[in-house]
Structure formats: structure tokens, C-alpha cells
Amino acid sequence: MKPYVLNGRVVAITGGAGGLGLALAKALRAKGARIALLDLDGAVVDEKARELGGTDVAAGWQADVCSLDSVETAMASVVQHFGGIDVVIAGAGIYVVDSMATMEPRLFERHTDINLNGVFRTFRAVLPYVKERKGYLMAISSMAAFIHGPLSGHYAASKAGVWALCDSVRLEVRHLGVGVGCVHPTFFRTPMMDAVQADPVGNKVWGGNERGLWKMIGLDDVIVSIVKGIERRCDTVIIPKRNTLVAWLPGIFRRVVEAVGFKDADIVETIRLAQQARGGK
């Protein structure tokens, strides 16, 4: 497959002021992409965008992934500014270590609303623009989607949901020429992980992320893998590759089921019927 050339592409990133989002923005700018940074704090993303080179190549927008209206408004403004969107990276997310027995129910709901519902809202808001350019949707999930550790049920459930959402949406949009990718990194250094390690509970659960399966990897390794994933329009990006077998075993059966049970023509007709039943919305 020919590489998906990033030079000149417009890439929108939610969670764009965070450690991963900003590092990705810098790497993609180095490839010649134009960057739209979206985050809760509009002043911060404006400042970060200026550092990336100014409004011709990078700009920031305030957006709350917990509100579809907010994301839709921001994406429409991105299109007005840059003329379109080729790639979106749904990267907004949170992680707090807590047990089911002690956590406030609102904490579970907040993880679901940001980590999972936020991806849905982002994809929903940007799809009309991405399909015009036969572009690519990417969501940041986690190794927690397929390795479910203790005191992380809320996080693992949300990230497994992101994986499932991407697999389902990929079937819905492939006839449009749109790709959908899901990224599953292990632990890597970000302000979010600094907070997890500073928490005695989080530090104990993951052994300080010093060795074995939970050993921290470098942010640069994550960025390189994600950028390659975009250039290859990958369905799934596993970081590091040693986790690939664990991740791909359920995926093997998914591919068989998709090939046998879901034909493009049937999906297109099903979508048409669904739109008709809902008044064309």
C-alpha cells in the first residue's frame, strides 16, 4: 500500500494540549501536516498552536468532548479556517486509579463520557468532512482494552469500548473510502501517568512501571508508531509490538466474522434504511 502522505493534510487532534496530543502535533508538523488543536482550554491551545508555527499551519480551538455541540462547532470552524479535515485523532482521555468498591459512581461515568463517548462525539462531528477527502479517523485506546488490570475497571471498560466502537464504525465507513484506526499503547510518560505514579495506590498496582509487562516505554516510541499508523492507515496500532499476540487473538475472529457476515452492499442498504426510518437524519 502506498503511504498516506501527510504533507499538506489537515489533522485535528482532541486533547491537543496534553502530553500525547502536543507531541503528536509536533511530529505531524514535521511531516508537513497542518494542525488543528482542540482542548478544553482555548487559551492554552492557542499558545501551543503559535509555537507550532502560526495560523497558516496550526491553530487552536476550545472544545469539550463531553458536548457534541461543542465538538461540532469547533470542527466546523476548523474547516472554515483550513478548508477541510483529512485526519482526526480522538485523543482526549483521563485515568484515575480506584476500585469499584470505593470509587464515586461519577468517576466511572466521567471515564465513560470522556474516554468513550468523547470518541463517538469526535467521530460523529468530523465524519462529514473526513469523508469528503476519503480521510482517516483514529482513536487513542490503550493496552487496557485487552489487558484488564485491577482498580482500573472504569478505564478498561471505556478503552475496550473505544476498540469495539472503532471496529464497528470501520465497517460503516469503508465504502466511503474512510479508514478507522485504534491505538493501543502500554504505559508511557505523560502528565497523566506522572499523576498515576505519584498516587501510592497507582504506584503499587503497576509496580512503579519499572519492569515486566507494565514497564514504561518512551513517548518518542509511541509517537513514531502512531505516525506510521496514520501513514499506513492501519486498523490497529499496538505499542510495543510485544503485546501484538494478546491483542490480535480476538481480532482474528473479528476479521472472519466481518468477511462472512457483513457485506458492503448490505451495510450501505442498512444505513439507508436506518436514515429513512429516522427521517433522513
Question: What pLDDT is attached to residue 240?
Answer: 85
- Asked if 138 and 183 touch (Cβ cutoff 8 Å), the reply is yes
92 domain-assigned? yes
C-alpha cell at 101: 468498591
The mean predicted confidence, pLDDT, of the chain is 89
Q: How far apart are CA 227 and CA 235, in angstroms?
A: 13
100 domain-assigned? yes
Residue 212: pLDDT over 70: no
Q: How far apart are CA 160 and CA 210, in angstroms?
A: 25
Residue 281: pLDDT over 60: no
Look at 55 and 191; give whichever has higher pLDDT.
55
- Asked if 88 and 109 touch (Cβ cutoff 8 Å), the reply is no
Q: What share of the chain is helix, strand, coil (3-state, %, to 5)?
A: 55, 15, 30
Look at residue 218 and give its three-state secondary structure.
coil
3 domain-assigned? no
Question: What pLDDT is attached to residue 202?
Answer: 67
Q: How far apart are CA 26 and CA 48, in angstroms?
A: 10
Q: What's the domain count of the chain?
A: 1
5 domain-assigned? no
140 domain-assigned? yes
> Residue 250: which CATH number?
3.40.50.720
Q: How far apart are CA 186 and CA 174, in angstroms?
A: 28
Question: What pLDDT is attached to residue 208?
Answer: 61
pLDDT digits (tens, 9 = 90+) for 130-188: 999 999 999 999 988 987 877 888 999 999 999 999 999 999 999 999 999 999 998 77
Beta bridge partners of 237: 183
**Which backbone phi and psi does 133 adopt, to 5 degrees?**
-110, 10
- Percent of the chain predicted with pLDDT > 90: 64
- Asked if 93 and 15 touch (Cβ cutoff 8 Å), the reply is yes
118 domain-assigned? yes
pTM here is 0.88
Average pLDDT over residues 212-221: 79
| 129 is a catalytic site residue | no
1 domain-assigned? no
Which domain, by its residues, includes 49? Answer: 10-272
2 domain-assigned? no
Question: What pLDDT is attached to residue 279?
Answer: 67
- Percent of the chain predicted with pLDDT > 70: 86
pLDDT digits (tens, 9 = 90+) for 67-117: 999 999 999 999 999 999 999 999 999 988 888 888 899 999 999 999 999
* DSSP H or E run through 107: helix 105-111
C-alpha cell at 25: 502535533
Q: Which of 95, 129, 136, 155 is catalytic?
A: 155
